[in-house]
Chain A
């Protein structure tokens, strides 16, 4: 790493120890680097510093009490983290928050991994001097959103969700309203979260330290189906789940635990466990073919990827004029659902109602996606329930499964076989890379030897790559986060940016940073490790190009004829809805 000519060593003192620092943004990072834990609620390394909670206060000699998250480090500072004053302040902060907090901890969605509960315990708070809020003062819980539940009575006003929605997605669906003791975090005009332009990405949930914003749970619904003897319950697992779920059971982020996850799902009682990676391969078959057609005809370019439901919803809300750019391909989840309900019901001679399809996703927006009316046949959905990684973790715990002691199993055939191209769908750039591998061979008719397109990888929110398909130049732009996508859209509209393929994933780093993943907002490096885990999985696959997948070839032979065939269109493609009229922009 380049050190920018910074040869002079800078140090400061934390509780008497000399600590070196370089380009840390704030004192808090320096203190944590020294191995000293400082409590925080509002601090999120990936978001702006806000200084709201005052938990990270330190005593700085000559400067008094300072919040370490907002103070830049300076050479020679003498900082004291653990003093009588700072301890007293922190305890006071927690007590005041608790006085205003719905303290039904045992039944809270976040019980066990709530940061407020954690610090109340760690700071030894046994009594709250300021009493308790009366139930008559409670505000109503908002569960109108298909993915997210907002409980204002649990909110500690740290503003992390407000910053996430603004700074990551550029949407600002929620913000602080009112003043003083009446302050709440709410959508504009105190509307329900189901009635605003929310895209269901769940990034607000992913940064919430308490139970104020939680994932709408389908755990009980799935248990009910599993114990119902009349139902056959099958599930699919998305790529990004396998490199994150293990974190809840002590595995390293990025460690691929797909075998254990499948074993756990079988123990829970799923009849068949398939892999969404298979459907990702199918998506590539369809989308690459669709792209090549559009490319030859020069129509509706750039093609926008359509795997991310939050991105799709965003376009429908705010850019309906660009909907013709979206690939008509359903997302892998919905391709899978449609296929499973069509093929398995026919093969086994059962009705759609008797087959329950569940998907395990890193994503909260998938819960909203599966409820889209286009994905219903005879009033029965292609995907009945979406469980986020987070929800599956709680099911594994509830079932008393000792995750690490499981014997790894493999997915059921035929929809368990996948290529490396399918597995990298979980990381930003993965869909474009997978598509490029297939498009290359379709366009040139030659075999692609080196399948790695490293320029498409990495956590940067904007990547631009020019592919050379034996003389045919294809420009690919890869973005993650909606804030970045909005900027790119504006540039495409103004003509400032030209490309043929635009891949968008709404969450930072792609699905591996999804709103349904184990919470990693305090450790951003986890996302990088998860992505590395997927690319490692890709590198170890026998097949690395979607069209090489024998199960996919078989599927086309048996059911779908060829990519973009009539049958394929019926089962695997969709249309979009202009939702501008109900968006706030229509004023």
Chain B
């Protein structure tokens, strides 16, 4: 479910991204990726703007955006954390690490982003780093061989930096 943000978005950025890709339908996924990179999620207005610029219907763009799990229609935190729950990470204890993150960040069941929009956590199925299991990636930085204690230290450090 998407949430409309009240803050005004700079949609001219969307326009230039769509233009860079030549308004071509076959580039829609790449455009969505770029736009998400820019806003850190896909705001409703940005999707509609893409639709208007590309002469597609908003429902079509929404359909593509909701089809792929890489796209998020909800605002993401400043730190995007991906915890691997692939086979190797799972057997090496990814679930206890995930639970530690959830309790550390006081996330309710089903909640992915902290109330202060600082952290977002999602599970992924394999990061291709099975030798380092269990793996957590925070904003593209890899944290190998995590334990519930180790991840707590990592989170505390990040929180201190932000405080």
Q: Determine the chain A residues whose CB is within 8 A of the CB of B59 once the complex forms.
A: 172-175, 177, 186-188, 196
Please, how many angstroms separate the alpha-carbon atoms of A186 and B57 in the complex?
12
Measured between beta carbons, the chain B residues less than 8 angstroms from A190 are 1-2
Q: Assess whether B62 is in contact with A172, with CB atoms less than 8 Å apart.
A: no
Specify the chain A residue showing the minimal Cβ separation from B58: A188
A172 touches B67 (CB 8 A): no
Q: Which 8 A-B pairs have the closest CB atoms?
A: A172-B57, A188-B58, A175-B59, A188-B59, A188-B62, A175-B63, A587-B48, A177-B66
A166 within 8 A of B: yes
| Closest chain A residue, CB of each to CB of B11 | A587
Cβ contact of A189, chosen from B11, B58, B67, cutoff 8 A:
B58
Residue of B nearest to A587 (CB): B48
Q: A-B contact count, CB below 8 Å? A: 55
Number of B residues with CB within 8 Å of any CB on chain A: 21
Shortest CB–CB separation between residue A319 and chain B, in angstroms? 14
Q: Mark B47-72, 1 if CB is under 8 A from A, else 0.
A: 11101100011111111001110000
B67 and A587 within 8 A (CB): no
- A454 CB-CB contact with B under 8 Å: no
| Shortest distance between the CB of A199 and any CB in chain B (Å) | 13
Check A188–B57 contact: CB distance below 8 A: yes
CB of A190, distance to nearest CB on chain B (Å): 7
Interface residues contributed by chain A, number (CB under 8 Å): 19
Q: Does A88 reach chain B (CB closer than 8 Å)?
A: no
Confirm or deny: A220 has a beta carbon within 8 angstroms of a beta carbon on chain B.
Answer: no
Contact of B48 among A171, A179, A186, A584 (CB under 8 A): A584
**Residue of A175, A196, A585, A587 touching B60 (CB-CB under 8 A):** A175
A-B contacts, 11 listed (Cβ < 8 Å): A166-B57, A172-B59, A172-B60, A175-B62, A177-B66, A179-B66, A188-B58, A188-B62, A189-B2, A584-B58, A587-B52
Chain A: residues with CB nearer than 8 A to chain B? 166, 171-179, 186-190, 196, 584-585, 587
Q: Which of A189, A190, A196: most chain B CB closer than 10 A?
A: A189
Provide the main secondary structure of the chain B interface.
helix
* B45 lies within 8 A of chain A by Cβ: yes
Give the residues in chain A near B11, CB-CB below 8 Å: 587
- Using known A-B contacts A172-B57, A188-B57, determine if residue A177 contacts B63 with beta carbons closer than 8 Å: yes
- Once the chains bind, are A188 and B48 in contact (CB under 8 Å)? yes
Q: Does B74 contact A (CB under 8 A)?
A: no
> Are A173 and B48 closer than 8 Å at their CB atoms?
no
Contact A587 B45 (CB under 8 A): yes
* A173-B59, A187-B59, A584-B48 given; 20 more Cβ-contact pairs under 8 Å: A171-B57, A172-B60, A174-B59, A175-B60, A175-B63, A176-B63, A177-B59, A177-B63, A177-B67, A179-B66, A179-B67, A188-B57, A188-B61, A188-B62, A189-B2, A189-B44, A190-B1, A584-B51, A587-B45, A587-B49
* CB atoms of A178 and B67 under 8 A apart: yes
Query: Which residues of A sit under 8 angstroms from B56, Cβ to Cβ?
Result: 172
Q: Give the residues in chain B near A189, CB-CB below 8 Å.
A: 2, 44, 47, 58, 62
Chain A CB count within 10 A is highest, among B1, B2, B49, B57, for B57
Say how far B51's CB is from chain A's closest CB, in angstroms: 7
Q: Which residues of B contact A173 (CB under 8 A)?
A: 57, 59
* B62 near A177: Cβ-Cβ < 8 Å: yes
